[in-house]
Amino acid sequence: MRTKNRVFYKAGVLTFILLFATCSNLTSATSSISNAKEAASFVLEKLSINENEVLIYVWGPVYKGEEIFSTKDHIMDAPEKGYVIYIDLYPKANLFHPVKYIFLSDSTKELIVKDTIYPPGNLANYQMIDTEIGKIFSSVQNRRASIPEKAFSIMKNTRDSRWAVLMNGGYDSGNNHIRYWNDLSNIYITLNYVYGYPDENIIVLCSDGTNPAPDQSNGQNSDPDLDGDGDDDIMYSCILSNVDMVFADLANILTEGSELFVFTTDHGNTMGGWDTLFNLWNMEELTDAHFAQLLDALPDCEIVCTFEPCFSGGFLDNVVVPPGPVVASSACRHDEYSWAMNNLEYDEYAFYWTAAVNGMDAYGNPADADYNQDGFVTMDEAYIYAEAHDMQSESPQYGDYPEDIGAMISLWPGSEPPETPTKPDGPVEWVQYVETTFSSTTTDPEEDGIYYLFDWGDGNNSGWVGPYASGQTGEASHIWTELGDYKITVIAKDINGVSSDWSEPADISIIKNSPPNNPIIDGPTKIQAMKQYTYTVSAEDPDDHDVYYYVWWDDGDYVDWIGPYKTGEEIIVKNAWPEVGSYTIQVKAKDFIGDKSDVTTLKITVTKNKAISDTLLQKLMEHFAGQFKILKQLLDI
């Protein structure tokens, strides 16, 4: 009995030990992940990923059936309770590059791994885990480059034919990285303070525009003031409809002599081969073909494009096309990603390209890209400098048309502006509904041809008239339909599109005109032929305008609009009628505007001139005196 009990006792102990071991192993195998950091550590270890080289985000716990999705596609539905780990394998690259989504089972610790290129559509639900590069990513702040001393004296007091379009789509708030705003600010300051582009000529489209809601990956709002002067520089949200609107407006503003600079930063994607696109705000897209259409609708002006996004080299085959001149460069090939600088504060290519044209980088370090030392950084020199200093895994691209035109193009204006035109010359008073003409003149420092545009002060202008030679007077005509006082100004531009300042204004009063009263004519009505007679003519003008006169003598002769004379002033006109008869003198008056009076008439009678008849008889008698003497002798026989 004791032996039997001992056997049962040993069996019980053994069973307990086995049960304990089994429970211990079960607990070890099925113990749950307690937090996001544990989930991340487990996955990184299992996949042998260096945590210091990646960004890692964790969402969870999630439960069975919850959708795991990117901004573009459905990744999977959670098969059970667990954690979703999103790993950005190339944090310094702009979208779209390889990323991983891993589902970690809470119960079994099994992993389901999905590879894609798109970030989470609900990134706000994910918790960022501290990594070395993650700390850099989180510490990046918006920064403005230092403001250089203005260096654009040649553009002082002139209208500028240069325009710029700066774009940062941002994709969405989770992926609108701080460096994109920094890129925009850096190039904006360069254009405005180094090259003198007017604020109003720099069109900025950035993420959600002036919406005060947070739109950056650091949870802050993009400051609309890019240069810190207190004025908003961001104008529009970077969505496709706004891009189309801006370029449609430019199609109406630019001329053949204008210069357009286009700068883009943030994300890009590929559609296969050379077909690529830029990502705009709210995940909208601008394809290379669509962008080429926008440029094609512009006048044949000078175009310079600098592209930062991934795959942006795919835009060059659409942009660098006839007729030119056009220069374009990109951070990478059509099949490559573009990259940020190591400190993530700027994009690598955009940083060095901007430094090249600025003369110093955003940190104040000198940048000498003027390789031929001619005082200008041309577009080929800017590319050479940026390509040489770009240390990231990207291959910057360049193209121009016509070939080598980039060696002749810079961000400076193509020519110096004409001098300010003279004050418009024309009447100081005029009547509504009647056309009149104004003129002005100026010279161009380079003897270029000149166009003039007259602003009539009533909301209308002449449009550009010309070209005229330098120093030649230009003119244009206009009709005012409303009574009132107006100021007329004129501006000139050369054949390259570079404009002068507006002229001093000329004042004009538009009145409702009244014609002169019927004129008065006074003089003899019974006269002799071949004798000159004097007549006085006068007319009063109700508006005290000067008066002109027309006199018809009714003998085939006339006086053609003599004047001007002061209103009411008597004038003297003379005429002699060669033939006997009845005549009707007709007189009209008109003011300087051209409004005419009715006709005033004066009937006259012309008789024989007795003095002329007596003289003729005497001459006949003297001429035939001999004949009369012979006749007398014959009569005396």
In a domain, 419, yes or no: no
For tokens 């667990």, what's the residue? 82
pLDDT of residue 633: 56
pLDDT of residue 160: 78
150 vs 486, higher pLDDT: 486
pLDDT of residue 12: 45
CATH code, domain with 435: 2.60.40
pLDDT of residue 14: 42
Give yes or no: residues 40 and 26 share one domain. no
* Domain boundary residue, one of 474, 509, 544: 509
Average pLDDT over residues 470-491: 96
pLDDT of residue 126: 96
| Greatest mean pLDDT range, 333-342, 497-506, 619-628 | 333-342
Pairing of strands 82-88, 99-105: antiparallel
Average pLDDT over residues 380-389: 98
Instruction: Please determine, for residue 44, whether its predicted confidence score (pLDDT) is greater than 90.
Output: yes
Give yes or no: residues 372 and 291 share one domain. yes
Cβ-based neighbour number of residue 8 at 10 Å: 10
Give yes or no: residues 199 and 276 share one domain. yes
| pTM (whole model) above 0.85 | no
One-letter amino acid of 406: G
pLDDT of residue 4: 42
pLDDT of residue 15: 42
25-34, 274-283, 339-348, 513-522: which has the minimum mean pLDDT?
25-34
Instruction: Please determine, for residue 141, whether its predicted confidence score (pLDDT) is greater than 80.
Output: yes
Measured CA to CA, the distance from residue 621 to residue 552 in angstroms comes to: 40
Give yes or no: residues 248 and 372 share one domain. yes
b/e code 99-113 from CB counts within 10 Å (16+ = b): bbbbbbbbeebeebe
In a domain, 625, yes or no: no
In a domain, 88, yes or no: yes
Give yes or no: residues 341 and 454 share one domain. no
Q: For 369-382, how does the pLDDT look when each residue is reduced to its tens digit (9 = 90+)?
A: 999 998 889 999 99
Measured CA to CA, the distance from residue 504 to residue 419 in angstroms comes to: 12
Q: Give the helix/strand (H/E) hosting 203.
A: strand 202-206
Q: For 398-447, how does the pLDDT look when each residue is reduced to its tens digit (9 = 90+)?
A: 999 999 999 999 999 877 789 999 999 999 999 888 899 999 999 999 89
Mean pLDDT, rounded, of the chain: 90
Instruction: Please determine, for residue 533, whether its predicted confidence score (pLDDT) is greater than 70.
Output: yes
In a domain, 421, yes or no: no
Instruction: Please determine, for residue 612, whether its predicted confidence score (pLDDT) is greater than 90.
Output: no
pLDDT of residue 1: 44
With cut-offs at 50, 70 and 90, classify the pLDDT of residue 615.
Answer: low
Strand order in the sheet with 276-279: 268-270, 276-279, 285-287
In a domain, 217, yes or no: yes
205 vs 24, higher pLDDT: 205
In a domain, 354, yes or no: yes
HSE on the CB side for 123, CA within 13 Å?
21
Q: Which long-range contacts (CB under 8 A, 24 or more apart) does 593-599 make?
A: 593/430, 593/431, 593/434, 593/513, 593/545, 594/434, 595/431, 595/513, 595/514, 595/515, 595/516, 596/515, 596/516, 597/515, 597/516, 597/517, 597/518, 597/519, 597/539, 598/518, 599/518
In 25-153 the beta strands, taken as DSSP E runs, fall at: 55-62, 67-69, 74-77, 82-88, 99-105, 111-116, 127-129
Give yes or no: residues 460 and 556 share one domain. no
* Domain boundary residue, one of 488, 509, 530: 509
| High-pLDDT (> 70) share of the chain, % | 89
With cut-offs at 50, 70 and 90, classify the pLDDT of residue 174.
Answer: very high
Cβ-based neighbour number of residue 116 at 10 Å: 14
CATH code, domain with 205: 3.40.50.1460
Closest by CA to 580, choosing from 545, 530, 619, 620, is 530
Give yes or no: residues 325 and 393 share one domain. yes
In a domain, 557, yes or no: yes
C-alpha angle with apex 434: 521 to 422, nearest 5 degrees? 110
With cut-offs at 50, 70 and 90, classify the pLDDT of residue 18.
Answer: very low
Would you give the distance in Å from CA 480 to the centre of its chain?
30
Measured CA to CA, the distance from residue 320 to residue 259 in angstroms comes to: 15
Average pLDDT over residues 475-485: 96
Q: For 80-101, how does the pLDDT look when each residue is reduced to its tens digit (9 = 90+)?
A: 999 999 999 999 999 899 999 9
In a domain, 620, yes or no: no
pLDDT of residue 13: 40
With cut-offs at 50, 70 and 90, classify the pLDDT of residue 494.
Answer: confident
Q: For 331-383, how does the pLDDT look when each residue is reduced to its tens digit (9 = 90+)?
A: 999 999 999 999 999 999 999 999 999 999 999 999 999 999 988 899 999 99
With cut-offs at 50, 70 and 90, classify the pLDDT of residue 147.
Answer: confident
Give yes or no: residues 6 and 71 share one domain. no
Locate 129 and state its tokens. Answer: 């885990």
User: Using an 8 Å Cβ cutoff, are 468 and 429 in contact?
Assistant: no
The number of folded domains in the chain is 5
Pairing of strands 547-552, 484-494: unpaired
User: Using an 8 Å Cβ cutoff, are 488 and 457 in contact?
Assistant: yes
- Based on the number of CB atoms within 10 Å of its own CB, is 530 exposed (0-12), middle (13-18) or buried (19 or more)? middle
Give yes or no: residues 490 and 540 share one domain. no
Give yes or no: residues 259 and 284 share one domain. yes
Cβ-based neighbour number of residue 300 at 10 Å: 16
* Domain boundary residue, one of 460, 488, 509: 509
Measured CA to CA, the distance from residue 71 to residue 453 in angstroms comes to: 51
With cut-offs at 50, 70 and 90, classify the pLDDT of residue 7.
Answer: very low
DSSP class per residue in 439-455: EE----TT---EEEEEE
Average pLDDT over residues 476-481: 96
Residues of the chain by 3-state class (helix, strand, coil), percent to 5: 25, 30, 45
Give yes or no: residues 494 and 601 share one domain. no
Expressed as residue numbers, the domain containing 2 is 1-31
Pairing of strands 202-206, 285-287: unpaired
With cut-offs at 50, 70 and 90, classify the pLDDT of residue 33.
Answer: confident
Give yes or no: residues 548 and 467 share one domain. no
